[in-house]
Amino acid sequence: MAEKACLVDVTKCIACRGCQIACKSWNQLPAEKTTFDGTYENPPDLSASTVTKIKFREVAEGGKVKWLFRKVQCFHCTDAGCVKACPVPGALTKLEDGTVYLDQNKCTGCKYCIMNCPFEIPRWDATKGKAFKCNFCYDRTSNGLPPACQKICVGGAIQYGDRDTLIAYAKTRPGFLYGEKELGGLHWMYLLPVDDPELYFLPKEPKLPKSLIVWKDILKPIGLILGGGSILAWLGYHFLLMPQKEKLTKEAEKHS
Amino acid sequence: MAGLGPSFGRGAMTNHWIDYRNADVILVLGSNTCENHPVSTTWIDEAMEKGGKLIVVDPRFTRTASKANIYAPLRPGTDIAFLGGLINYVLQNKLYHEEYLMNYSNVSFLVKPEYSFKDGIFSGYDKEKRKYDMATWGYQMSPPGPDGKTTPLQDKTLKDPNCVYQILKKHYARYTPDMVSKVCGMPKESFLEIAKVYATTGKPGKAGTVLYAMGITQHSNGSQNVRAISELQILLGNMGIAGGGVNAQRGEANVQGSTDYALLFHLVPGYMASPDKVLHPILSDYLTKETPKSGYWVNKPKFFVSLLKAWWGENATKENNFCYDYLPKKSANYSWIALFEAMYAGKIKGLSCWGENPAVSGPNSNLEVKALGNLDWLVVSDLFETETASFWKRPGVNPAEIKTEVFLLPACGSYEKEGSITNSGRWAQWRWKACPAVGESKSDLEMMNELFEEIRALYKKDAKAVFPEPIVKLNWDYGKGEPNQDKIVKEINGYTIADGKPVANFTKLADDGSTMCGNWIYSGIYPEDGKNLLKRRIREKEGIGLNSEWAFAWPVNRRIIYNRCSANPAGQPYNKDKWLVRWNDTEKKWETRDVPDFGWKDAKTGEMIPPEKSAANPYIMQPEGKARLFTPVGMADGPMAEHYEPYESPVKNLLSGTQNDPAVKIWAADLDKLAPVASPEYPIIATTYRVVEHYQTGTLTRNLPWLAELMPNLFVEMSVELAQAKGIKNGDKVKVVSIRGEVEAIACVTPRLKAYQLNGKTVEVVGLPWHWGWATAAPGDVTNKITPHIGDANTMIPEYKAFLVDIKKEVA
Amino acid sequence: MAERMIQRTSVGQRLIHWIHGISFVILGLTGLALFHKSLFGLTAIFGGVDSARYLHRVFAWIFTFNMPLFIAVWFKDCGIIDALDRKWIACGMGGYLPIKSLYAGCPPAGKFNAGQKMFYWTAVLGGILFVVSGFIIMNPLGLAKQTVRAAYILHDLATICTVTFFFAHLYLGTLGAPGSLRAIFQGNVNEEWAKHHHGRWQIG
């Protein structure tokens, strides 16, 4: 199966936030009680009931103003920190089409994914005791439909399709592609007008936390070897060395 | 819209939404199209993909501006100064489309020598009545020919000082780039950049479109704003072509439909005047006075009589003047402000509000809400309890002191009923019912039907009823409950009475009572029994986006009106790729993509009419057949657009000694207050607007938690400098105060707003959306408490967009 | 002839040992279930991952409150590693590494040998690490991500050390030294056993 992805042309986004509503509508996520606190941006942050939102930034320089918008949601990384961190088989899975799927039924609420996402995406729901994030509308995409946010986008800012095709298309466009190589390749990629991802709230070179690699790729295997090895070692000891030890100490006792 | 009719003949968007993609330059002026008409973004985007340029001119840097190639600020209420500047730039630099101008506009027509313009006043002004006598604005006419006809005189050399070209040039010579900058507060370089880019569309084959909305119309000279756009577009030859036009974007999904069907006091369906007590006491008066001598409107009697037949059916006969006498004749102005002034004065006893929420949407809301308390009864039909329905228990009043009896009828939502809407692009589209109505709610149509049947029954029963005939004899028989809509659509289309067969279109209507038609401009939507073209859903596979088999566009399914002008007089298209109609000179026939908006084929013989003939009168609705740079009739406040200051302005008019539009009616109730020019108490300009997250008065959207989450509270946008001067921080609670009232809002301090430099004076601007009220879970103050009761000279549309305020930090 | 039995542990020591031990084992089993996906099957013992995690958190509290007591009651016996203990270690862990050349002249172990004392310290230090990192992991929201991520590593480090050592303890307390189990169940051992394993123990 070809890998699917979304490509967001940030210059085309008008921040109408139809995507935020379409997401809540399709996924039946509740509204949040918000207040206007000086910016159009609302809700103020991602949450268990807001798994996608538009971030706003006003830039004033040299008498000119720019108003920048960037859609935030799970990036569905190829090398996904959350998948690596998750201890429960099947709770966070990398699917064939590139979706990083968080199965709410299996999630046990350990928050490892929240702590290890390089983009700080998953959010905690205290009442449900589970992590939440965008699942790429897998119930739609697996039935041949685009994600709800893409479907509603009037500005043509979001495109959905085969990842390779989108990358090829992006390379014909002016601007900078974010997400082709990052973390083994993201499945939400961004076409930026300037080579400054941080301006659009994107980390410049996103990397998995080093601690995650130490933890998962070094410590855990060593632990398994040592733990399992310990059992075997003592069994071996009992039959091979213990008799010798007994002999040694008995002899010593005799001498004394 | 009132500026479009006199300019071109019809009061509607000339092109359509999808056609934006054909533009080379898009000028968005007085519109925040991406926010308030988000679907337009799709087509703007397509134009930009093909290299098209987007120019956004707005008092605020909006989300639309965020997409623009060029953005420039403009002080609210100075659109004509800006557009006049563009007109002057085009004329001075000869960047107009000369062939187009000479053939398709009245540029060479001679205006009466008595016409004059002095210090902001056109000839014929009556200071006492605040009205113009338009007689001196007429054309010089030829002596009557052998057939008794006279035609306007022209000077094709354009040298005659009385020709429209010379008048126009002289009129706009004052609108220099420096003047534009001083009046509009727009940097001169920005203006020149815009002028340069937009004027490129004057080249034959290039298309520039102007998208506008309430930022243009909601001014005391809103109709003249539209006129100024029209003048510019005529000069550049941008009318009647793909990707061009003057595109009025309506504020709701069906505003175009509602005006087409005359939800306006001064019209009856199909843009015919409503009968006037003095002008048209009897039918013959109406028909003679309202029917011009030339142009397509010569057919008006056919449309009007067919309308009377639709209303009173077999009761309407030639002998009784087709029941013309049953029609109420207007004797006053019944526009919004006038009605509320009358209500405030206690002259109106009852009000029925269907899908309206005046307590939030009406200007000078303190006055209007008080006016509601003078009513005996008020009927509100809506999905939720609106502020209007709950005006008697609004914050700060004692319900016991309000005597008005309020009835709230539960209406169902648009997805719970069937029917048609007409979008801004004149596309009439059917909407099907998606789900059953909730609870006891009913469709407006069903409520109206039941209400009418009930009223008719009462009239029939009551022997002493006064003048029962108009009601009792009305041709209204649509069944019980939810009306039979097929029957209604057929009636709108019109049919021949003898055989009951639908007419093909309005060319088949007659003035002898043999046909009936509910709205002539929609004739053609139901050409055969059972065939409702509004239900068509065939997408265009190739072409330029006309989608001619999708629904129906009035008139006669024309997608781009005045399309004769897309080709030169010889019938050769100016743009070979985006052609609409073209004359095949070898085969001597017209080839058409769109339905031709001109005489192209003889209706009787079927023979093709050569292009030269239609080139003479491409604007078929106009008596002279031309687009009007100068309107001899039709505009109450002048034949050409002239800048006047908003009624509340921080500065004196720099362009003339006449401060305000002289034909505007001034109201004088105790709550009708206006701040004086350059008022020190109210030094800041305020403008109101909508945001994409909410719909109109917010009744629908504030009740949707998802949308309330996005935009929870009323806010006021202001510049960083203003906030600093007033000690206001982002997110602070502030009070915005006008001479009429005050509102509480949350400060949104942003670099997107900047003070204007007006001839050396620095003037700040603040902006407030107006979607809030007290009735919902996400409440907020009513912005319209601070807006003025001043209406456009032609349409009476209130001046919501430019008034004066002060702003204060609220002390907790 | 009846064996002479010598009191080796107090009731308090035994009680606290077992509170510590049982909670350690339950914490271990529930924790190891999430240590690695290959061990996830352990959750079945507890009726699923959610109940396993629930138990882990309940026993975390028991473990934590028991920890100071554990340190205290065992400190006198196991907390001090003296010079002879070090020598004992140098002699191939008192002969547990049966290398004749090293073993020569090995001092006998005291009441508790240096290996047991080392295990005490592993349990103490590992336990403190468990508690501190565990509570960070339990309530990570609002903490610096680096802190939480460090806690994951420390918790695992503690697991690896204590679990690995735990198997030694399990073996030496049972198969490895028959007769030891009495010490932690009944609290006494027979004199022979004591002399053999803890020659330096001054039996009072």
Scanning A221-240 for CB atoms below 8 A from C yields: 222-224, 226-227, 229-231, 233-234, 237-238
Our answer on whether A and B touch (3+ beta-carbon pairs < 8 Å) is: yes
Confidence check: pLDDT of C1 > 60: no
Scanning B12-41 for CB atoms below 8 A from A yields: 34-35, 38-39, 41
B232 and B183 fall within a common domain: yes
Sequence ranges of the domains in chain C: 5-197
State how far the Cα of A21 lies from the Cα of B527, in Å rounded to an integer.
41
Final residue belonging to a domain, choices B469, B492, B508: B469
Confidence check: pLDDT of A144 > 60: yes
Q: Do C106 and A215 touch (CB under 8 A)?
A: no
- Picking from B692, B712, B749, the nearest residue to A36 by CB comes out as B712
User: Is the separation of the CB atoms in C34 and C40 below 8 Å?
Assistant: yes
Q: Do A111 and C96 touch (CB under 8 A)?
A: no
Q: Do B706 and A31 touch (CB under 8 A)?
A: yes
Provide the domain limits for residue B364. 336-469
Distances in whole angstroms, Cα of residue B237 to Cα of each of A202, B169, B570, B708 = 46, 17, 16, 44
Query: What per-residue string of b and e applies to B35-71 under the rule 16 or more CB within 10 Å gives b?
Result: bbbbebbbbbbbbbeeebbbbbbbbbbbbbbbbbebb
| Residues counted in chain C | 204
Cis peptide before B555 (omega within 30 of 0): yes
Contact list, A81 vs chain C (CB under 8 Å): none
Confidence check: pLDDT of A132 > 70: yes
Chain C residue with minimal CA distance to A108? C50
Compute the average pLDDT of residues B590-612: 95
Confidence check: pLDDT of A200 > 90: yes
Confidence check: pLDDT of C203 > 80: no
The type of residue at B761 is K
Contact list, C163 vs chain A (CB under 8 Å): 223, 226-227, 230
State how far the Cα of B451 lies from the Cα of B271, in Å rounded to an integer.
27
- pLDDT of B149: 87
Q: What is the mean pLDDT of chain A?
A: 95
Report the 10 Å Cβ neighbour count for B734: 23
Q: Do B41 and A66 touch (CB under 8 A)?
A: no
Asked whether residue B533 is domain-assigned, the answer is no
Q: Is B32 helix (H, G, I), strand (E, B) or coil?
A: coil
Q: How confident is the model at residue B37 (pLDDT cuts 50, 70, 90)?
A: very high
User: Is the separation of the CB atoms in B138 and B111 below 8 Å?
Assistant: yes
Q: How confident is the model at residue B593 (pLDDT cuts 50, 70, 90)?
A: very high
In terms of pLDDT, which residue wins out, B183 or A254?
A: B183
Distance from CA of residue A242 to its chain's centroid?
51
Contact list, A38 vs chain B (CB under 8 Å): 715, 730-731, 746-749
- Which among A94, A128, A222, A245 is the top mutation candidate for probing chain C, defined by the most C β-carbons within 10 Å of its own β-carbon? A245
B229 and B262 fall within a common domain: no
Angle at B30 between CA B27 and CA B34, to 5 degrees: 70
Query: For every residue of A91-158, which 3-state class applies, written as one string?
Result: CEEECCCCCEEECCCCCCCCCHHHHHCCCCCCEEECCCCEEECCCCCHHHHCCCCCCHHHHHCCCCCE
Query: What is the complex's ipTM, to 2 decimals?
Result: 0.92
Tally of domains in chain B? 4
Cis peptide before A43 (omega within 30 of 0): yes
Confidence check: pLDDT of A254 > 80: no
B369 and B301 fall within a common domain: no
What subunits make at least 3 CB pairs under 8 angstroms with A? B, C
B185 and B289 fall within a common domain: no
Confidence check: pLDDT of B1 > 60: no
Final residue belonging to a domain, choices B232, B251, B270: B251
Beta-bridged to residue B431, according to DSSP, are B419
H or E element at residue B359: helix B358-361
The type of residue at C58 is V
Whether residue B712 lies within 8 A of chain A, CB to CB, comes out as yes
B113 and B227 fall within a common domain: yes
| CA distance to partner chain A, nearest, from residue B41 (Å) | 5
Final residue belonging to a domain, choices B251, B282, B305: B251
H or E element at residue B122: strand B121-122
- pLDDT of B169: 98
State how far the Cα of C35 lies from the Cα of A220, in Å rounded to an integer.
7
Whether residue A60 lies within 8 A of chain C, CB to CB, comes out as no
Q: Do C149 and A109 touch (CB under 8 A)?
A: no
| Right CATH for C5-197 from 3.40.50.150, 3.50.50.60, 3.30.70.1520, 1.20.950.20 | 1.20.950.20
Q: Do C145 and A242 touch (CB under 8 A)?
A: no
Report the 10 Å Cβ neighbour count for A57: 14
B176 and B102 fall within a common domain: yes
pLDDT one-digit tens code per residue, C146-189: 999 999 999 999 999 999 999 999 999 888 888 888 889 999 99
User: Is the separation of the CB atoms in B597 and B563 below 8 Å?
Assistant: yes
Confidence check: pLDDT of B437 > 60: yes
Residue B122: what are its φ and ψ, rounded to 5°? -85, 160
Q: How confident is the model at residue B310 (pLDDT cuts 50, 70, 90)?
A: very high
- pLDDT of A62: 85
Say what percent of chain B tops pLDDT 90.
95
What subunits make at least 3 CB pairs under 8 angstroms with B? A
Confidence check: pLDDT of A23 > 80: yes
Scanning C45-74 for CB atoms below 8 A from A yields: 49-50, 53
State how far the Cα of B324 lies from the Cα of B152, in Å rounded to an integer.
34
Scanning B453-492 for CB atoms below 8 A from A yields: none
The type of residue at B190 is S
Distant-in-sequence, close-in-space partners of C169: CB < 8 Å, separation ≥ 6? C119
| Residues counted in chain A | 256
| From A246-250, B95-99, B331-335, the region with the lowest mean pLDDT | A246-250
| CA distance to partner chain A, nearest, from residue B143 (Å) | 57
User: Is the separation of the CB atoms in B331 and B277 below 8 Å?
Assistant: yes
- CATH code for the domain defined by A4-81+106-208: 3.30.70.20
Q: Do C98 and A114 touch (CB under 8 A)?
A: no
Confidence check: pLDDT of A253 > 80: no
Whether residue C144 lies within 8 A of chain A, CB to CB, comes out as no
Q: Do C152 and A112 touch (CB under 8 A)?
A: yes
- Which among C135, C143, C153, C157 is the top mutation candidate for probing chain A, defined by the most A β-carbons within 10 Å of its own β-carbon? C153
Our answer on whether A and C touch (3+ beta-carbon pairs < 8 Å) is: yes
Choose among B810, B808, B805, B811: nearest CA to B725.
B808
Sequence ranges of the domains in chain A: 4-81+106-208, 211-255
- pLDDT of C81: 92
User: Is the separation of the CB atoms in B174 and B643 below 8 Å?
Assistant: no
Q: How many helices (H) and strands (E) does chain B have?
A: 22, 29
Distant-in-sequence, close-in-space partners of B14: CB < 8 Å, separation ≥ 6? B4, B8, B239, B240, B244, B245, B246, B247, B560, B561, B562
Compute the average pLDDT of residues B784-812: 94
H or E element at residue C149: helix C145-173
Confidence check: pLDDT of B462 > 60: yes
Residue B613: what are its φ and ψ, rounded to 5°? -65, -50
Choose among B342, B183, B284: nearest CA to B756.
B183
B73 and B24 fall within a common domain: yes
Confidence check: pLDDT of C100 > 90: no
CATH number at residue B729: 2.40.40.20
pLDDT one-digit tens code per residue, B614-663: 999 999 999 999 999 999 999 999 999 999 999 999 999 999 999 999 99
What the block records as the tokens of C30 is 């529930």
Q: Do A38 and B748 touch (CB under 8 A)?
A: yes
Residue with tokens 């102005």: B333
- pLDDT of A50: 98
Q: Do A42 and B706 touch (CB under 8 A)?
A: no
Contact list, C141 vs chain A (CB under 8 Å): 111, 114, 124
Compute the average pLDDT of residues A83-91: 96
Scanning C183-202 for CB atoms below 8 A from A yields: 195-196, 199
Distant-in-sequence, close-in-space partners of B601: CB < 8 Å, separation ≥ 6? B590, B607, B608, B609
pLDDT one-digit tens code per residue, C35-75: 999 999 999 999 999 999 999 999 999 999 999 999 999 99
Beta pairing class for B741-749 and B733-738: antiparallel
Beta pairing class for B350-354 and B377-382: parallel
B100 and B214 fall within a common domain: yes
Scanning B737-776 for CB atoms below 8 A from A yields: 746-752
User: Is the separation of the CB atoms in B788 and B740 below 8 Å?
Assistant: yes
Say what percent of chain B tops pLDDT 70.
100
pLDDT one-digit tens code per residue, B220-264: 999 999 999 999 999 999 999 999 999 999 988 899 999 999 999
Query: What per-residue string of b and e applies to B425-464 under the rule 16 or more CB within 10 Å gives b?
Result: bbbbbbbeeeeebeeebbbebbbbbeeebeebeebeeeee
Give the end-to-end CA distance of chain A in Å, rounded to a whole number. 77
Query: For every residue of chain A, which 3-state class applies, written as one string?
Result: CCCEEEEEEHHHCCCCCHHHHHHHHHHCCCCCCCCCCCCCCCCCCCECCECCEEEEEEEEECCEEEEEEEEECCCCCCCCHHHHHCCCCCCEEECCCCCEEECCCCCCCCCHHHHHCCCCCCEEECCCCEEECCCCCHHHHCCCCCCHHHHHCCCCCEEEEEHHHHHHHHHHCCCEEECCCHHHCCCEEEEECCCCHHHHCCCCCCCCCHHHHHHHHHHHHHHHHHHHHHHHHHHHHHHHCHHHHHHHHHHHHHHC
- Picking from A12, A31, A154, the nearest residue to B39 by CB comes out as A154
Compute the average pLDDT of residues A77-106: 96
Q: How confident is the model at residue C204 (pLDDT cuts 50, 70, 90)?
A: low
Angle at A164 between CA A162 and CA A170, to 5 degrees: 100
What the block records as the tokens of B504 is 């093909």
CATH number at residue B343: 3.40.50.740
Choose among A17, A51, A196, A66: nearest CA to A132.
A51
Q: Do B730 and A38 touch (CB under 8 A)?
A: yes
